[in-house]
Amino acid sequence: MSSEQNPLIKVENLRKYFPVKGTNPLQKKKYVQAVESVSFNIYRGETLGIVGESGCGKTTLGRTILRLYEPTSGKIIYDGAPIYDSEKKIAVKMLPYRRKMQIIFQDPSASLDPRMTVGEIVGEALDIHKLYSSKKERSERINELLDKVGLNTEHANRFPPEFSGGQQQRVGIARALAVDPEFIVCDEPISALDVSIQSQVVNMLEDLQAENHLTYLFIAHDISVVRHISNRIGVMYLGQMVELADSYELCSKPVHPYTRTLLSAVPLPDPIKSRSRQRILLEGEIPSPLNPPSGCRFHTRCPYATDRCREECPELREQSPGHFVACHL
Ligand code: SF4
């Protein structure tokens, strides 16, 4: 993806803090700093993968871009138009953007209402956005969407608990596609599924992307999954983006110590090479986003940390064309 191309989505210094309930009103209010000053672009037609340990803020980032969570500060620009800008006090109504920006949730069993039929679930978005002119057109559209995700028309009258996890996720994908979106946040869409059907769902998402000219933000904790589907990958640690590059470049020439750690845990296809490779183990637990470390947030676990790292937060800088890294080294 060329950096000269206009991005579909531009995120600048995005922050999302959650207030902590139950803190003493006489004390200073505490916040979970889930996303801290994150900036990047997503280009039309690409898949940008986001990886990091659980709790690193990747899901919050995806939901904040869609404004399912209201940002704390920063800027989100969609196709050249600001949908949120804390400095200019812009926070547009999102209903028209819900047609363009959709989400596929991690756990399909939790994200589908068990009391609604599949037809009602998929048709709800058509109703909200008034995307049909007759009942017949509505039901044809539902059938077409079910067909697109590998389900059949009889499934429209059944309820989510009657389906397997993989089929439920297909319903979730059909629901996201119902409004004919341009951009979809795929929030760990396969992590709740059996390994045997994960690749089927990933392949289907790739086919749908090609057919419908979709742009994806693909969130996962497993870099080997993200590497397969993404054009570029962003690595997050404790609410911040620490490295962002073309997938091949990031996986073959990782620069940030945290990215190197993630990659050292990915099994290699060759068992001899896999056994001889040294796995980098991080010491200590991931710190709390309620009270993140000073300076570089990774310094408490980084084997190369210096005094500067403890004091000064490294900026995400372009180290080689298209390869961004936040590290003092
Ligand atoms: Fe490690 Fe320092 Fe780089 Fe942070 S800035 S990753 S602590 S070397």
Q: How far are the Cα atoms of 40, 55, 209, 309 from residue 261, in angstroms, in the given order?
A: 23, 17, 31, 18
Return the ligand 1 atom nearest residue 309 CA.
Answer: 2
Q: What is the reported pLDDT for 83?
A: 97
With a 6 Å cutoff on the Cβ, whether 328 touches ligand 1 is yes
Residues of the chain with pLDDT under 50: 2
Closest among 93, 38, 28, 48 to 236, alpha carbons compared: 38
pLDDT at residue 109, as a whole number: 86
pLDDT in tens, 26-55: 777 889 999 999 999 999 999 999 999 988
For residues 168 and 161, give the distance between their C-alpha atoms in angstroms, rounded to a whole number: 8
Residue 228 Cβ inside 6 Å of ligand 1? The answer reads no
Domains of the chain by start residue, with CATH:
7-46+54-93+235-325 (3.40.50.300)
- Contact partners, residue 209, CB within 8 Å, separation at least 6: 45, 47, 216
- DSSP structural state of residue 234: E
With a 6 Å cutoff on the Cβ, whether 304 touches ligand 1 is yes
Cα–ligand 1 centroid distance for 301 (angstroms)? 9
| CA 43–ligand 1 middle distance (angstroms) | 29
